[in-house]
Chain A
Amino acid sequence: MLEIRNLHASIAGKEILKGINLHIGAGETHAIMGPNGAGKSTLSAVLTGNPAYTVTEGEVIFRGKDLLSMSPEVRAREGLFLSFQYPVEIPGVSMTNFMRAAVNAKREHQGLPALSAGEFLKLMRAKRALVELDNKLAGRSVNEGFSGGEKKRNEIFQMAMLEPCLSILDETDSGLDIDALRIVAEGVNKLHTAENATIVITHYQRLLDYIVPDFVHILADGQIVRTGGKELALELEQTGYAGIV
């Protein structure tokens, strides 16, 4: 699914990723944990092609193709999805128009015809139900005036709409109340299949109680310093990063 080899990246001349190696297979769930400022969001930004970052070394193969040579929108259409740590508000662009553009861009890429208005609304309704997203929110501008938790729920709604092959969830749990966390996590689990994969970036075990990872990686100062099973997250909860980093 995804193969990251010796990935180095910098922003504003400052090296943030210092040689990341990571292999993610179909059907797997990987958790990435690590101290603030370690480079977790930078890794998501680089994988999704955020132009603010420069890749200085290394390669990334996504489903057999060179990911880094693709434009951000092509990476998305190829099945890469990021649930943003800080989702962006887009005043004046309705959720409906936004999602229609996104879904149909992907369908066109796959050689499928655009959805009819009726089919599209039906899809919206079904996916909204999956994460229990309020109809009122779906009727508003993208993320505009959404609470922190509502924005996160909206990210997972979009993930459900786009059915990506690889989803990166960057601190999707932050800002969610206890019930919302469960609902959103259950939504993510329902979307999980043997053909897709998920990277969960989180600081807390609580999310991993719901979305159980096959592997846990610890990212510190731009490198993966330790990899383990789900018990590594529990160990972290006990010891903090002091014993590991």
Chain B
Amino acid sequence: MNKYIVHTGEKKHLVISHVSDETAQWQIVQEADSVLTVHLFCLEKDADASHDVVLDIEQAGEHAETYIYGLGILSGKQHISVHTRVRHSVPNGKSNQLLKFAVKDEAKGAFLGELIVAPHAQHTEAQQTNRNILLSPAATMQTQPQLEIYADDVKCSHGASTGQIDESALFYMQQRGIAPDVARQLLLAAFFHDVLTTLGEPAVEERLQRRIAEALSAPSANSAL
């Protein structure tokens, strides 16, 4: 368990780019006027990786901002579950979560997004978005947004969806001579694009693009990719 406090007025950027423990848990408390940005990348190469990522964040001071951006490519027989809990305990807080996963082979993914707005946490603005693409028939993704909103003067929204690669786009690209695996890579890069741009650093973005491309081609040779 990793515990942090983001102190009053502080800006903190947490990048979780390798989840190596069986369980990876963070418990973070934000004081007033603090800004926390978390980037979570699940791009493990180990085909049997099994991880439980928990991000538990509480806004204990007013005017705090929390941003969670995550992406993952799950492959082989991986089991990856990501659990975010964002607690708005005081008024005037902001949070935004954007998490995207592509699941291939026989991998199993799960996202549980808890968003808790306490009764007196008025003027909270909270958003949560989870989008997933399944790349093989045996891949699964469970998504469970869980909003508990006890204050009435708030702006909260959430969206969750799980779909497949757009077959008509794939065919369109093939008709232009592009091989299906290259077409899928372009489509997935597009899918992850809005998460990547939140990094704000082209060099890091590029490095991740390469890791994404690697993760897409690994580990099983007989997968859909």
Contact = CB atoms under 8 A, between A and B. Distances in A.
11 contacts: A50-B171, A72-B175, A82-B175, A87-B172, A88-B168, A90-B169, A93-B190, A101-B173, A101-B183, A102-B173, A142-B172
Given A73-B180, A101-B182, A105-B182, A90 B187 contact: yes
A105 B175 contact: no
Contacts of A89: 169
A92 B169 CA distance: 12
B189 interface: yes
Contacts of A73: 174-175, 177-180
Interface string A66-109: 00000111001100011010011111110001100110011001
A224 to B, nearest CB: 23
Contact of A93 (B171, B175, B186): B186
B174 A76 contact: yes
Contacts of B169: 88-90, 93
B195 to A, nearest CB: 11
A167 to B, nearest CB: 12
Given A88-B169, A92-B193, A97 B186 contact: yes
B26 interface: no
A48 interface: yes
B176 interface: yes
B168 A76 contact: no
Interface of A: 48-51, 71-73, 76-77, 81-82, 84, 87-93, 97-98, 101-102, 105-106, 109, 141-142, 158, 162
A49 B176 CA distance: 12
A84 B179 CA distance: 19
Contact of B174 (A71, A87, A91, A93): A71
A141 B171 CA distance: 17
Of A76, A82, A88, A98, most B-chain CB atoms within 10 Å:
A88
A120 to B, nearest CB: 15
Contact of B189 (A82, A84, A92): A92
A48 B175 contact: yes
B196 to A, nearest CB: 11
Contacts of B171: 50-51, 72, 88
A82 B173 CA distance: 11
Contacts of B177: 73, 76-77, 102, 105-106, 109, 162
Nearest to A51: B171
A50 B168 CA distance: 9
Best-surrounded residue of B178, B186, B187 (most CB of chain A within 10 A): B178
Contacts of B187: 90, 92-93
Interface of B: 166, 168-169, 171-180, 182-183, 186-187, 189-191, 193
A109 B177 CA distance: 9
A105 B179 contact: yes
A3 B168 CA distance: 27
Contacts of A87: 172
A84 B177 CA distance: 15
A98 B173 contact: yes
A98 B176 contact: yes
Nearest to A158: B176
A162 B176 contact: yes
Contacts of A48: 175
Given A101-B182, A102-B178, A92 B190 contact: yes
B10 to A, nearest CB: 34
A71 B177 CA distance: 10
Q: Across the A-B interface, give the 7 residue pairs with the lowest CB-CB distance, nearest first.
A: A92-B190, A102-B176, A76-B177, A88-B172, A72-B174, A105-B177, A77-B177
Contacts of A158: 176
Contacts of B173: 90, 98, 101-102
Contacts of A93: 169, 186-187, 189-190
A92 B191 contact: yes
A50 B180 CA distance: 13
Nearest to B192: A92
A158 B172 CA distance: 12
Contacts of A88: 166, 168-169, 171-172
B2 to A, nearest CB: 33
Contacts of B180: 73
